[in-house]
């Protein structure tokens, strides 16, 4: 049974058809990428999978459950583009607070060290750099020892060193059996990390396969992306 199954998902915001018809299945232990131009519906899709938005149509199951099943709160870790953390909270306080919400949390100090935040534990959120905020949001997604991790733009704002560290961490958690869904704009990230990729365009899946299969006949994943997708509409 797939860990995540999305069938004919639809979501509309007023007059905007953000997601028209998205279907895919993510297998256990996979790193599954969602790739697509700005506004293609990637974030909306993962927000529906994470129960942060209610779909207008279609079916989603996560670990065989409805996404809104409270049992999933401790099984699914979500890192979103906006963390919404309070400015005055320190890194250590945020990690301890989140760890306290789970039955079997990870060692948050070790996680902070893995993400290069060991010397930032006493620093308030407001005083972190963009990359440090991003690393904290990744740590918070993983602190509950989830079985599924949903990472939206994992490496946005990270320098090349931090990006490599984040990739190593994602591989390490996958090697521990965690299933990962990764929204990304970086072709290199998709190619290096993802086992399979769904390419979204205007709210629909236009291609799905391994990076090698998607690239075949196009020269590079970048070229495949350009030929498979269209420019985003002007908002
Ligand atoms: N809360 C909202 N209210 C209204 N429209 C929204 C909302 N969130 C997203 N949209 C619109 O829905 C469409 C899909 O947006 P979404 O953020 O899901 O795309 P995306 O593929 O994640 O884009 P990006 O790569 O730019 O992050 C876009 O046209 C966007 O403007």
CATH number, domain with residue 194? 3.40.50.300
Closest atom of ligand 1 to CA, residue 200 = 21
Residues 174 and 221 in one domain: yes
Residues 140 and 156 in one domain: no
Count of structural domains, the chain: 2
Residues 159 and 186 in one domain: yes
Evaluate whether residue 98 is within a structural domain: yes
Residues 20 and 50 in one domain: yes
- The rounded Å distance from CA 151 to ligand 1 centre is 16
Tell me the best of 43, 48, 201, 229 to mutate to test the pocket of ligand 1, counting ligand atoms within 8 Å of each CB and taking the most: 43
Q: Is pLDDT above 70 for 110?
A: yes
Closest atom of ligand 1 to CA, residue 153 = 27
Q: Identify the residue with better confidence: 182 or 134.
A: 182
Evaluate whether residue 109 is within a structural domain: yes
pLDDT in the model for residue 94: 95
pLDDT in the model for residue 154: 85
Judge whether 181 and 200 are in contact, CB under 8 Å. Answer: no
Which letter does DSSP use for residue 146 in this model? -
pLDDT in the model for residue 130: 83
Q: Is pLDDT above 90 for 115?
A: no
Q: Identify the residue with better confidence: 114 or 81.
A: 114
* CB-based contacts of 60, cutoff 8 Å, min separation 6: 4, 5, 6, 7, 9, 48, 49, 66, 67
Closest CA to 25 of 75, 64, 55, 57: 64
- The rounded Å distance from CA 44 to ligand 1 centre is 6
Percent of the chain scoring above 90 in pLDDT: 71
Residue 21 backbone dihedrals phi, psi, to 5 degrees: -165, 90
pLDDT in the model for residue 233: 59
Residues 114 and 133 in one domain: yes
Evaluate whether residue 235 is within a structural domain: no
Tell me the best of 14, 22, 42 to mutate to test the pocket of ligand 1, counting ligand atoms within 8 Å of each CB and taking the most: 42
Q: Is pLDDT above 90 for 88?
A: yes
d(CA 157, CA 154): 9
Out of 145, 165, 199, pick the residue that ends a domain: 145
Residues 45 and 155 in one domain: yes
Q: Is pLDDT above 80 for 10?
A: yes
pLDDT in the model for residue 95: 95
The CB of 132 under 6 Å from ligand 1? The reply is no
Q: Is pLDDT above 80 for 81?
A: no
Closest CA to 33 of 215, 181, 213: 181
Judge whether 17 and 207 are in contact, CB under 8 Å. Answer: no
Residues 97 and 50 in one domain: no
Which residue owns the Cα nearest ligand 1 atom 26?
Answer: 38
Residues 182 and 91 in one domain: no
Which residue owns the Cα nearest ligand 1 atom 23?
Answer: 39
Question: What are the angstrom distances between the C-alpha of 81 and each of 69, 100, 171?
Answer: 23, 23, 21
Q: Is pLDDT above 80 for 202?
A: yes
Evaluate whether residue 45 is within a structural domain: yes
Residues 44 and 156 in one domain: yes
pLDDT in the model for residue 84: 76
Q: What is the 3-state secondary structure (H, E, C) of 177-228?
A: CCEEEEEECCHHHHHHHCCEEEEEECCEEEEEECHHHHHCCCCCHHHHHHHH
Once rounded to an integer, what is the mean pLDDT over residues 176-204?
Answer: 94
Q: Is pLDDT above 80 for 51?
A: yes
Mean pLDDT computed over every residue of the chain: 92
* CB-based contacts of 194, cutoff 8 Å, min separation 6: 31, 32, 33, 182, 184, 211
Question: What are the angstrom distances between the C-alpha of 208 and each of 47, 57, 61?
Answer: 20, 21, 19
Q: How many residues does the chain have?
A: 235
Q: Is pLDDT above 90 for 73?
A: no
Range of the domain at 141: 83-145
ipTM attached to this prediction: 0.97
Once rounded to an integer, what is the mean pLDDT over residues 201-217?
Answer: 94
Q: Is pLDDT above 90 for 191?
A: yes
Closest atom of ligand 1 to CA, residue 81 = 27
Pair of tokens at residue 210: 């391994």
Q: Identify the residue with better confidence: 190 or 165.
A: 190
| Residue-wise pLDDT tens digits, 145-155 | 999 999 998 88
Residues 49 and 92 in one domain: no
d(CA 6, CA 20): 12
Q: Is pLDDT above 60 for 123?
A: yes
């Amino acid at each position: 049974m797939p860990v995540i199954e999305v069938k004919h998902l639809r979501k509309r915001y007023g007059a905007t058809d953000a997601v028209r018809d998205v279907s895919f299945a993510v297998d256990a232990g996979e790193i599954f990428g969602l790739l697509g131009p700005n506004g293609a519906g990637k974030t909306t899709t993962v927000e529906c999978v994470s129960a942060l938005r209610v779909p207008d149509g279609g079916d989603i199951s996560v670990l065989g459950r409805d996404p809104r099943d409270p049992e999933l709160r401790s099984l699914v870790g979500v890192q979103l583009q906006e963390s919404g953390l309070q400015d005055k909270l320190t890194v250590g306080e945020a990690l301890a607070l989140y760890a306290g919400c789970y039955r079997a949390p990870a060692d948050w100090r070790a996680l902070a060290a893995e993400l290069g935040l060991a010397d930032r534990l006493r620093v308030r959120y407001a005083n972190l750099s963009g990359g440090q905020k991003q690393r904290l949001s990744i740590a918070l997604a993983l602190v509950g020892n989830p079985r599924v991790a949903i990472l939206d733009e994992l490496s946005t704002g990270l320098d090349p060193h931090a990006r490599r560290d984040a990739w190593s961490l994602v591989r390490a958690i996958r090697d521990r059996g965690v299933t990962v869904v990764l929204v990304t704009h970086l072709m290199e990230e998709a190619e290096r990390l993802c086992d399979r990729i769904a390419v979204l365009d205007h709210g629909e899946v236009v291609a799905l396969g391994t990076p090698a299969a998607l690239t075949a006949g196009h020269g590079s994943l970048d070229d495949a992306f350009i030929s498979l997708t269209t420019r985003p509409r002007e908002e």
